[in-house]
Chains A and B, each alone.
Chain A
């Protein structure tokens, strides 16, 4: 039931056409883009699931409730949601004014162009909405087959470690020399490297041929190495992993992607013939998106500022500013953007600092620009998530699982870690261990199994 008679819709269509042409003229090469006007409830649903069609889980419902409530009370607003697919899907809020949606469309085309051209996205599936829909279908089938409760409990455990994926884990796997296949014929190259018979016999006990350790991709490790998971359960782990890998580049390029989209909404809106009222509304919107958060860091603002600075400097050098930017959008991620283009001048202009806890206060401890830059690089390279490696699938010679937290000066939330270990133990089926450090680096070994419960053992430093 399309409401095509809506005059606002007609006006918006005209504006999008105009914006689309400007974007093309300025050099953007976005995917074909489908814009869909949706009510707030739908926007918040897609926002809390990450994209339309994803599988059901109560954690999504919890996030949806929180976000929707924030919106209902006027505390936050999602203006748009762009999905990295080809064609690209963009959801606009139907309650937005036409000008707000014009602004959002200009911003969206920046994202769509970034998805289409940035190197980090080249291996993501461009038909992800179909994929997640099929995944959801499969999970629903598992629910019928094995019971909702079992699927939910499995998902609870998997989702608690879903952030621990690594897009390069499989690359490393492929690069290892393939084990010589026993099959000998002229057509061997038609087959995947096959497992020898002895290997096939030991599939329940993968040891030497397993996932190489240390492995940062806990989901991969558990899906392939867990001694107890059934095939469908491995599939569930792989489903979650596949979806997280799809979102991974978006975590890697938050600053540059938002900076790029913000840069373009400014460029495009400047080309539009805005009335002075509209111009004022646009200026208000722009600053609400880009305003710095005191004491924190707004990725939109940081990315926008760095990109503008790059353009200015290269324009001053040889007039190649815009050209440089198009190069950056193809090759850079947040880490490389910050490391290569956050200059001394910018650190000082933006008044960036590094702060740490000193006894009972958060105190600024570093203003020196290289130190601040390096701290920032460190901070965005792990997305604020502690790095955990799977080290040993046969710990104590007893098929127990040893994990190691790569301690970088920041302690884990130990009570959370223990609860999370319960989920890992559920997936592993035997005792799990976690090496970490606390209080300035004193080694600590956590362990959990259903039989023995939790234990914390301090080791000498």
Chain B
């Protein structure tokens, strides 16, 4: 007799779906890593507040197969009872179903897989192999972020902090004043205690000069790219290092130190004298960030359209700056990928030092390579190479 059975078991240990789901998530992460160059310069991510989820487009995780053009919808359907030939069921927008940011033209319906990822996860991927190059250990004071220093002596305090040597000395002195020699007859007045202060010095002492050309010749693209670079640089430094100081310097013909907010939002105009920024950085090194105490990292982004007469000054000041720096990065943004080099780049190229690193950026996607070039494992160690 053919029949049935029924059961209700415990399935709580069955995890296959979850395991394969995890593999899929892992692939999403890998895909993000492969597409970092595109993702890093996404407008929506740069302008995000850095807290919420970000959506990143991934092209490589689609399950490809032979399929009909999805824009060519056709087929048999069922109506409400009153359809007739010529009825319009659906209208398409002019965009042929292509949203913004997708490839146009002969590539209809390219689906983008959008992965959601928290900003922190994304940042961790971006910063994976980055570090401040040439950070010199000997100059780093091995002080924990919060240390205690004994700086004063008082008459009261916990006995664990009793300053025995001073206490004995006080005792000897009082005895001597009273005409006795030697140690003995301790009194409360003799006691001396060490007191301490919290030391606010931080463990690492590096300063980064973020110098940016804000002159009139810097177009929207150039400004966007340099800000995108500095956006990630600032986040990277703040994530990895507790207290790297970042000095923001904006320059046209004159340089001035600006707040972080001004640096990222304000535009200026006028001509360009890059030397003004270098001079300001040198002045700051002189006054505040002495090379004996600080690891110094100047970075400069410009379109390279410098006053010709200023170039020689730039080379001189850059040489000086380079002498006290751990790494000097110069990024030049030229949208037209001409082989022609700008005057500033040509001039600075003469600085033959492994600590001087240049990058040419012609495309948004070059921002991530620039980060890796400046902060990657080999930055400042290789011989100077032709830029990208």
Contacts and interface: CB of A to CB of B under 8 A. Distances in A.
Nearest to B10: A1
A61 B86 CA distance: 43
Contact of B79 (A36, A294, A302): A294
Interface stretch (A4-12, A207-215, A390-398): A4-12
Given A354-B75, A364-B87, A411-B68, A159 B16 contact: no
A242 interface: no
Contacts of B309: none
Contact of A375 (B76, B80, B81): B76
Contacts of A414: 69, 106-107
B296 to A, nearest CB: 44
Given A35-B5, A37-B8, A296-B77, A61 B21 contact: yes
A9 B6 contact: yes
Interface string B58-82: 0000111111111111111111111
A386 B84 contact: no
B66 A364 contact: no
Interface string A34-49: 1111110110110011
Contacts of B80: 294, 351
B188 interface: no
Contact of B65 (A160, A301, A415): A160
B66 A423 contact: no
Contacts, number: 235
B21 A420 contact: no
Contacts of B107: 414-415
Contacts of B70: 413
B62 A42 contact: no
A57 B21 CA distance: 9
A420 B65 contact: yes
Interface string B71-114: 11111111111111111111111100000000000111110000
B155 interface: no
Contacts of B84: 364, 367
Interface string A160-192: 110110000000000000000000000000000
Interface string A355-368: 11100111111110
B76 A297 contact: yes
Contacts of A298: 78
A367 B8 contact: no
Contacts of A61: 17, 19-25
B77 A352 contact: yes
B142 interface: no
Contacts of A422: 64
B79 A295 contact: yes
B2 interface: yes
Nearest to A23: B4
A58 B72 contact: no
A53 B307 CA distance: 72
Nearest to B22: A61
A56 B23 CA distance: 10
Nearest to A31: B2
A33 interface: yes
A410 B75 CA distance: 11
Contact of B77 (A13, A35, A355, A386): A355
Interface in B12-50: 14, 16-25, 27
B9 interface: yes
B7 interface: yes
Contact of B92 (A39, A301, A350, A360): A360
Interface string B259-295: 0000000000000000000000000000000000000
B91 to A, nearest CB: 5
Contacts of A420: 64-66
Contacts of B69: 410-414
A17 B106 CA distance: 60
B21 A64 contact: yes
A2 B76 contact: no
A58 B73 contact: no
B336 interface: no
B3 interface: yes
Given A20-B3, A37-B7, A386 B78 contact: no
A74 interface: no
Contacts of A363: 86-89
Given A32-B2, A353-B83, A3 B66 contact: no
B90 A163 contact: no
A42 B77 contact: no
A412 B71 CA distance: 10
A364 B85 contact: yes
Contacts of B89: 295, 355, 361-364
A379 B92 CA distance: 23
A357 B68 contact: no
Given A362-B89, A411-B69, A419-B64, A352 B78 contact: yes
Contacts of B18: 41
A12 B229 CA distance: 64
A357 B16 CA distance: 42
Interface in A228-277: none
B65 A416 contact: yes
Nearest to B110: A415
B112 to A, nearest CB: 12
Contacts of B4: 16-17, 20, 32-35
B68 to A, nearest CB: 5
Interface string A417-451: 10110110000000000000000000000000000
A58 B23 contact: yes
Given A58-B27, A293-B78, A413 B68 contact: yes
Contact of A412 (B2, B68, B83): B68
B11 A297 contact: no
Contacts of A38: 11
A56 B16 contact: yes
B8 A94 contact: yes
Contacts of A35: 4-7
A376 interface: yes
A203 interface: no
A318 B71 CA distance: 48
Contacts of A384: 68
A1 B83 contact: no
A415 B24 CA distance: 23
B20 A417 contact: no
Given A6-B8, A32-B2, A94-B8, A367 B85 contact: yes
27 contacts: A1-B9, A13-B6, A34-B4, A36-B9, A41-B17, A41-B18, A56-B20, A62-B21, A62-B63, A94-B8, A160-B65, A293-B78, A297-B76, A297-B77, A297-B78, A302-B78, A353-B76, A353-B87, A355-B75, A360-B91, A361-B92, A362-B88, A366-B85, A367-B83, A375-B75, A388-B66, A414-B107
Given A360-B91, A362-B92, 8 more contacts: A1-B9, A20-B3, A37-B8, A296-B78, A355-B75, A366-B85, A379-B76, A411-B72
9 A-B pairs closest in CB distance: A61-B20, A45-B17, A419-B64, A61-B21, A61-B24, A351-B79, A37-B8, A362-B90, A1-B10
Interface of B: 2-11, 14, 16-25, 27, 62-94, 106-110
